[in-house]
Amino acid sequence: MNSSVIIFPGSNCDRDMDVALKKFGFKNKMVWHEDTKLPKSDLVVLPGGFSYGDYLRCGSMASKSKIIKSVIDFAKSGGLLMGICNGFQILTETELLPGVLLRNKFSEFICKNVFVKINNNENKYFKKITKQTLKLHIAHNEGNYFCTKNQMKEIEDNNQIALFYCNKKGEVKDEYNPNGSSKNIAGIFNKEKNILGMMPHPERMIDEYLSGEDGSLFFENLLNNLK
């Protein structure tokens, strides 16, 4: 399977994502933000970091970058597009995903392990995954998901919520919400479920020495679903 990771100036999880994708068998290519064409890809990833310094708004400048047009075309034609952390912010800024990511509730950067519950398995990302609650890692300042009432209704009607913050047992409650996100949302899909944006970093959980392997589970499963 071929994957592409877009590098924006200020991206800083691009290498980690490259390492993870290759570890699980993707043939990955790094794509510079000033390129205009994507290489042939089965998966495109917008990595975490601080694209363009997060100036103006997180993800906003990246959503106007040169490469983004072909990323949008790729996704609109059904290609799998995943945005992690800053990548998720870029996806909402391009309006490929609804809503926005606001500053964390206590306006502090949070770096810690969290549990997330998978809400929808009818998609390439989570189909056949062997666990419904994953231990992943978050590291962000703006992960507080917010959208209008109408948008939320649409998201729910279309079953677009991908992940909820929860506890070890998979219980979704306020007290397990690290950043004030509406309804504990940690990740969402577009209507067609080929675009996934999420705050947690699966690429940081890919070996037992890095506090967990649920990221491995995610990537292995994704690769199998693409085969």
Partner 1 sequence: MVNEKIAIEHGLKKQEYSKICDLLKRTPNITELGIFSAMWNEHCSYKSSKIHLKNLPTKNNKVIQGPGENAGIIDIEDNDAIVFKIESHNHPSFIEPYQGAATGVGGIMRDVFTMGARPIANLNSIHFGSPEHKKTRNLLRGVVRGIGGYGNCMGIPTIAGQTNFDESYNGNILVNAMTLGLVKKNKIFYSKAAGLNKPVIYVGSKTGRDGIHGASMASAVFDEKIEEKKPTVQVGDPFTEKLLLEACLELMSGDSIIAIQDMGAAGLTSSSIEMASKGKLGIELDLNKVPCRETKMTPYEIMLSESQERMLIVLENGKEELAKKIFDKWNLDFAIIGKTTDSKKIELFFDKKKVADIPIDTLVENSPIYDRKWKKAKLPKKNKIKKEKFKNLKIVNVLNKILANPNVCSKKWIWQQYDHTVMGDTIQKPGGDAGVVRIHGTSKAVAASVDSSAVYCWAHPLSGGKQIVCESWRNLIAVGAKPIAITNCLNFGSPENDENMGEFVECVQGLGEASAYLDFPVVSGNVSFYNQTKDIGIKPTPTIGGVGLIKNYKNMVTMDLKQNENILLVIGKTEGHLEQSLFSRDILSEKNGPPPEINLFNEKNNGETVLKLIDKNFIKAAHDVSLGGIITALSKMCIKGKKGALLNKPKYLIDKFEYLFGEDQGRYIVEIEKTNYDNVIEILEKNSVHYDELGIVNDNDLIIDEKSKVSIDDLNKSHNIWLNNFMSK
* Cα 98 to Cα 149: distance, rounded to the nearest angstrom: 11
* The binder of partner 1 chosen from 24, 26, 50, 164 (CB under 8 A): 50
* Cα 105 to Cα 25: distance, rounded to the nearest angstrom: 38
The b/e string for 58-93 (b: 16+ C-beta within 10 A; e otherwise) is: bbbbbbebebbebbbebbeeebbbbbbbbbbbbbbb
Does the annotation mark 203 as catalytic? yes
Q: Is 112 in the site for partner 1 (CB under 8 A)?
A: yes
Q: Is 109 in the site for partner 1 (CB under 8 A)?
A: yes
Q: Is 13 in the site for partner 1 (CB under 8 A)?
A: yes
Q: Tell me which stretch binds partner 1 (CB under 8 A): 8-16, 115-123, 161-169, 219-227.
A: 8-16
* The binder of partner 1 chosen from 203, 214, 219, 221 (CB under 8 A): 203
* The binder of partner 1 chosen from 24, 26, 52, 145 (CB under 8 A): 52
What is the amino acid identity at position 114? V
Q: Tell me which stretch binds partner 1 (CB under 8 A): 88-96, 110-118, 121-129, 157-165.
A: 110-118
Of the candidates 100, 93, 176, the one whose C-alpha atom is nearest the C-alpha of residue 138 is 176
* Cα 22 to Cα 119: distance, rounded to the nearest angstrom: 27
Length of the chain: 227
Residues in the site for partner 1, rule: CB under 8 A? 9-10, 12-13, 15-16, 19-20, 48-50, 52-55, 108-112, 137, 139, 141, 201, 203-204, 206, 209-211
